[in-house]
A and B are shown apart, each in its own frame.
Chain A
Amino acid sequence: GAGVSQSPSNKVTEKGKDVELRCDPISGHTALYWYRQSLGQGLEFLIYFQGNSAPDKSGLPSDRFSAERTGGSVSTLTIQRTQQEDSAVYLCASSLIRTGNGYTFGSGTRLTVV
């Protein structure tokens, strides 16, 4: 597509439930990134994909968080047994290659855990 598409744009879930967040990157972009933005904070790196593999998962905050990417395209970020501290905006970005520029961000998914 023309830009990075994320869905849903907003998600309210009950504490303890699992959620799946989707990212559809720009066609042809091999690198895909997930970031988390908490209120008043900068962007916290979560995970990086090159193609379907995730060589860098160092930012995932706990084992409740996982992500996959299939067909070198769509990625899903899954949060199991959500907690209130998981409430944040989850941003996805993609780029042609893993460089310092060329990241195009989606509009994010605002997750609220109640």
Chain B
Amino acid sequence: GQQLNQSPQSMFIQEGEDVSMNCTSSSIFNTWLWYKQDPGEGPVLLIALYKAGELTSNGRLTAQFGITRKDSFLNISASIPSDVGIYFCAAFGGSQGNLIFGKGTKLSVKP
């Protein structure tokens, strides 16, 4: 089946640092999304991307839909303690017809 390869799996950063994570696939998708999951909660949508090459920001978050439609990245600038959590990439529009998810990037911030 289709898979999203998300990296890194985890990262520890100092507060104030910028963070970057990405997702790649061998399949083409029409929509890329980034979610954040806090402990004990379901994932919450951060950013949605609908067009190849699109660059979208949401506060300190910036995400891009790769021009090949097979990848996406998420950047977080000037990280703060509440950025801690698991970030998932997700994609839609491949042959499976359902939203599929990467395995997540666990972000831990040192205060």
Q: Which residue numbers of A lie inside 8 Å of B, CB to CB?
A: 4, 33, 35, 40-43, 45, 48, 56, 58-59, 91, 93, 98-101, 103, 105-108
Taking a contact as CB atoms closer than 8 A, the residue among A56, A59, A91, A100 that contacts B93 in the complex is: A100
Task: Kindly provide the distance from the CB of A44 to the nearest chain B CB, expressed in whole angstroms.
Answer: 8
B91 neighbours in A (Cβ, 8 Å): 100
Do B44 and A105 touch (CB < 8 A)? yes
In the bound complex, CA of A42 to CA of B103 (Å): 4
A67 to chain B, nearest CB (A): 14
A-B pairs with beta carbons under 8 Å apart, 27 shown: A4-B42, A33-B98, A35-B101, A40-B103, A41-B103, A41-B104, A42-B101, A42-B102, A43-B43, A43-B90, A45-B98, A45-B100, A48-B98, A56-B97, A91-B42, A100-B48, A100-B50, A100-B91, A100-B92, A100-B93, A100-B99, A101-B45, A103-B45, A105-B43, A105-B44, A106-B42, A108-B40
A45 to B100, CA, bound (A): 7
In-complex Cβ contact of A43 among B31, B93, B96, B101 (8 A)? B101
> SS class of chain B's interface: helix, strand, loop or mixed?
loop
Residues of chain B within 8 A of A43, CB atoms compared: 43, 88, 90, 101
Q: Name the 6 nearest CB pairs between A and B, nearest first.
A: A105-B42, A100-B92, A100-B31, A42-B103, A43-B101, A42-B101
Q: Which residues of B contact A48 (CB under 8 A)?
A: 98
User: Complex formed: what's the CA distance from A91 to B6 in Å?
Assistant: 20
Q: Are B40 and A99 in contact (CB under 8 A)?
A: no
Residues of B within 8 A of A108 (CB): 40-42
